[in-house]
Amino acid sequence: MSKQSIKLSVDAVVFGYEEGNISVLLIKRKYAPFKGNWAIPGGFVLNNESLEDAVERELFEETGIKINYLEQLYTFGMPDRDPRGRVVSIAYFALVRPDAFKIAASTDAEQAQWFNINELPELSFDHNEILKAAIERLQGKITYEPLGFELLDTKFPFSDLEKLYSTLLGRAVDRRNFRKKIIGLNVLDELDEKSSKGSGRPANLFQFNQKRYFQLKKEGIIFEI
């Protein structure tokens, strides 16, 4: 067996959401190959850091963002995926809340930018494939894990949650049935606050109760929408 000379990198697909738009954070590459092209943020793993640490470090270095949900997506390892040589990349999947989303959108406009997932540019390497896998994961997982709350502010009106789901699932959801179902899951706390943005009746704010969710999950109750 010849000495191994494979390099290891991590890449992260970061999703953000605001007002019916799902966005992905991309960076413009500064060096060859694919110089000037858009790419998913990422980079090489250091010898003594965990993979998750590598993701968070690279994300912070390249985009300044601080994510609040991270999970491993898939490892891409085709021998020819990087023209520089053999690079195996462990792709991650991250979610940020609207506040981080807005901050990141206002700074660093040249290097890192949010793209609506329906208006994506051609990406470098096999990043289109990675992004596709990430979108499928998000759409699939949102129906059986409470991921949606990671994309909203901690306090949110029901209509935000509903709009998020209808956007992600790509179809209308019935307001009454949706509310019944979510309330029935028993993982939301209704707050005494009301939102009052603009016209119409102010909405009660809700908050995801993670503690209760983990409790119910341990008892075998499954989240499903």
Tell me how far, at minimum, the Cβ of 219 lies from DNA, in Å. Answer: 15
Residue choice 3, 30, 84, 201 for contact with DNA (CB under 7 A): 201
Q: Whose Cβ is closer to a second copy: residue 36's or residue 77's?
A: 77
> Does 40 help bind a second copy (rule: CB under 8 A)?
no
- Alpha-carbon gap, residue 169 to 24, rounded angstroms: 17
Pattern 138-167, binding to DNA, x per CB under 7 A? -------------------xxx--------
Stretch that binds a second copy, among 2-10, 28-36, 158-166, 202-210 (CB under 8 A): 2-10
Residue from the set 19, 48, 177, 220 that interacts with a second copy by CB under 8 A: 48
Q: Which of 30, 47, 198, 220 binds a second copy (CB under 8 A)?
A: 47
Q: Which stretch binds a second copy (CB under 8 A): 30-38, 40-48, 100-108, 123-131?
A: 40-48
171 binds DNA (CB under 7 A): no
Which of these ranges, 82-90, 96-104, 120-128, 200-208, lies near a second copy under the rule CB under 8 A? 82-90
